[in-house]
Structure 1
Amino acid sequence: MTVYLHEGDLPADLDLGPEVAVDSETMGLRFRRDPLCVVQLSAGNGDAHVVRLNRPAYDCPNLKRLMADQAVLKIFHFGRFDIGMFQLHLGVETRPVYCTKIASKLARTYTDRHGLKDVARELAGIDMSKAQQSSDWGAQTLTQAQLDYAASDVLHLHVIKARLDEMLAREGRTELARACFDFLPTRSRLDLEGWDEIDIFAHA
């Protein structure tokens, strides 16, 4: 594994292929309180690219272009949060997208454990460490432990997606999953507009 650290933006000539795994690190889980600090990506080739963003300007045209590129599928785990952060801080709507957490909930109905650590252990045979999850991602310098953690969150998403695709097809839920993925940027926008804790589809 090689982890490439980029300050501010991705290189203009970087080609990550037609499917790129994406994750982000923030100072917390509240949209307007906690800033977006780091975005990490992988082409599924064993390497990871970590972008330490230049807050508060977020001047990263190459990263923004990639998130909005209709020819590149962005693979997330719990993409609802990352997509919302990108809408808020980068000013882009991320499409098209695939969320392994949604796919897991539709395919792995025999369990209620859909966190990335659990999904990766079962479907990719990887035991992931979450020790750096709550570290200071706004620091001026990221530690090697932080970089390794950030990389681990995207390195296995392609393998997980492939396994989930097989399960979704087997259970006849592929089209249902695609419809959910298509709606995900809208769900993120609802979060940003104040409906983050409200199910607008509920009867009450």
Structure 2
Amino acid sequence: MAKTSRPDYPLPVLITATDALDAFCQRMHGETFVTVDTEFMRERTYWPELCLVQVAGENEVAVIDAQADGIDLSSLGVLFADEAVTKVFHAARQDIEIFVLRYGDVPRPMFDTQVAAMVAGFGDQVGYDALVSSLTGGVIDKAHRFSDWSARPLSAAQITYAAADVTHLRDVYTRLSRRLAQENRLSWVAEEMAILNNPATYRGDPETAWERLRPRTTNRRLLYILKEVAAWREKEAQRVNIPRQRLIKDEALLEIAATAPANADALARVRGVTRGFAEGKSGTALMEVLAAARRVPDADLPAAPQARDSARPSAALVSLLKVLLAANAERHNVAPRLVASSDDIDRLALEENPEIPGLHGWRREVFGNDALLLKQGRMALGVDGRRVKFIPV
């Protein structure tokens, strides 16, 4: 079955001109909410290449060709800044990154149905197709999931496929928001949206790029060199607009930090680094970064990150806390991962009163208070038929 727009919806309109986009956005300012999705390409570039923006109002849906000759997307940015119109996404992070890069801010206000679905008990990171099926009975086929959205002209099937996401999303949003309002959980969603609503979430800092590599060392010189070369790779990948891994793979970057090659021949001997790269413009620039890093005196190197407490939590206690988490998440019909991560559980098992989200706000009511009682020996777990039960001690 092909993925189609809602049968009660008018056919999607392909917008390729600025005046048509301006008129559509002007009409959308009168909506209470609009649903939004994008199609983009990133396989060959560092920056996402925006191809389409799909927007649906109550009675119309537009597929906006972001690559049409001469089209100006400014009116779309004005719509996204309209505080009177809620912008609804599903799994918004990558879409929002594109808009932050283009407009300098996130769409406001914003609602992510993936976050809302987790709050409503649909599991961890529920897929859009599963959510549509569960809430609306609609069927999503992924026939055009791997389309080259930068290729023109677009086929009628591609346009229909792209529009379907935002038309079904209207039903998903209305049903989810109604359900969460009845359960007094809309504030939970708002709390979870705080990270997505912060533009800094989408602006990677080259100076912290090395942290992604998770080096297992406390060698100050190596860590300093890794920090410098990782920052250089991030900036260079941005400059030439290619994926960072295509410029230099993580494994090669770690070896470069460990061996600190002093010339192009040594750099070319690093696995994954070609001689052409080592002797070219990028390789020369990288060698200058390495030379500067080697000149820094030992006394001026930053301190190594403080190692985490090497103590290991009791495996049995961790297991008990995970059972408690699963049971309480089931009882409150909320995704367990939204309440506490594995790292949170480990810290809770190790520390008396750790600073974790599970001990604040609604999470404390759902899980944190019971977890502390369990640790203090004031609660036991038992089985009542087919469910876990809590026994005061």
Task: Give the match for residue 15 of structure 2.
Answer: 6
Q: 1:57: Cα distance to partner?
A: 8.0
Given that residues 44 and 156 in structure 1 are in contact (C-alpha distance below 8 angstroms), is that contact kept between their aligned partners in structure 2? no
Q: 1:8: Cα distance to partner?
A: 4.9
Q: Summarize deviations over 1:94-140 as a string: whole Å, max 9, x none.
A: 1110110000011024x346111000000011001121121011112
Q: 1:143: Cα distance to partner?
A: 0.9
CA spacing shift, 1:90–1:142, aligned 2, 3 Å:
farther
Q: Summarize deviations over 1:179-202 as a string: whole Å, max 9, x none.
A: 22344131x63233258997xx97
Q: Matches of 1:134 and 1:90 in 2, distance apart?
A: 27
Given that residues 113 and 119 in structure 1 are in contact (C-alpha distance below 8 angstroms), is that contact kept between their aligned partners in structure 2? no
CA spacing shift, 1:175–1:148, aligned 2, 3 Å:
same
Does 1:150 pair with 2:159?
no
User: 5+ unaligned residues in a row in structure 2: which ranges?
Assistant: 1-9, 213-340, 348-393
Given that residues 96 and 182 in structure 1 are in contact (C-alpha distance below 8 angstroms), is that contact kept between their aligned partners in structure 2? no
Q: Matches of 1:24 and 1:55 in 2, distance apart?
A: 15
CA spacing shift, 1:29–1:95, aligned 2, 3 Å:
farther
After superposing the two structures, state which structure 1 stretch, 24-33 or 64-73, moved more: 24-33
Q: Matches of 2:184 and 2:62 in 1, distance apart?
A: 35
Q: 1:171: Cα distance to partner?
A: 3.6
CA spacing shift, 1:33–1:23, aligned 2, 3 Å:
same
CA spacing shift, 1:93–1:7, aligned 2, 3 Å:
same
Q: 1:178 aligns with which of 167, 171, 190?
A: 190
Larger Rg over CA atoms: 2
Q: Summarize deviations over 1:156-185 as a string: whole Å, max 9, x none.
A: 112111221233234432111122234413
SS of structure 2 residue aligned to 1:167: helix
Q: 1:71 aligns with which of 84, 87, 95?
A: 84
Does 1:165 pair with 2:177?
yes
Given that residues 132 and 168 in structure 2 are in contact (C-alpha distance below 8 angstroms), is that contact kept between their aligned partners in structure 1? yes
SS of structure 1 residue aligned to 2:36: strand
Q: Matches of 1:32 and 1:67 in 2, distance apart?
A: 24
Task: Give the match for residue 34 of structure 1.
Answer: 48
Task: Give the match for residue 114 of structure 2.
Answer: 101
Given that residues 44 and 157 in structure 1 are in contact (C-alpha distance below 8 angstroms), is that contact kept between their aligned partners in structure 2? no
Q: Summarize deviations over 1:3-43 as a string: whole Å, max 9, x none.
A: 10011545323212120000000013798343111100101
Off by >4 Å, runs of 4+ in structure 1: 55-58, 194-198, 201-204
Q: Matches of 1:116 and 1:162 in 2, distance apart?
A: 15
Q: 1:56: Cα distance to partner?
A: 9.9
CA RMSD of aligned residues (A): 2.9
Does 1:192 pair with 2:206?
no
User: 5+ unaligned residues in a row in structure 1: which ranges?
Assistant: none
Q: Matches of 1:106 and 1:150 in 2, distance apart?
A: 27
Q: Which amino acid in structure 1 is aligned with residue 91 of structure 2?
A: F
Given that residues 67 and 92 in structure 1 are in contact (C-alpha distance below 8 angstroms), is that contact kept between their aligned partners in structure 2? no
Q: Matches of 1:31 and 1:175 in 2, distance apart?
A: 38
Given that residues 49 and 151 in structure 1 are in contact (C-alpha distance below 8 angstroms), is that contact kept between their aligned partners in structure 2? yes
Q: 1:51: Cα distance to partner?
A: 0.5
Higher helix share: 2
Q: Which amino acid in structure 2 is aligned with residue 38 of structure 1?
A: L
CA spacing shift, 1:141–1:56, aligned 2, 3 Å:
closer
CA spacing shift, 1:193–1:137, aligned 2, 3 Å:
same
Aligned residues: 199
Q: 1:123 aligns with which of 135, 152, 177?
A: 135
Higher strand share: 1
Q: Matches of 1:192 and 1:131 in 2, distance apart?
A: 32
Given that residues 40 and 51 in structure 2 are in contact (C-alpha distance below 8 angstroms), is that contact kept between their aligned partners in structure 1? yes
SS of structure 2 residue aligned to 1:26: strand
Q: Matches of 1:149 and 1:103 in 2, distance apart?
A: 24
TM-score (norm 2): 0.46
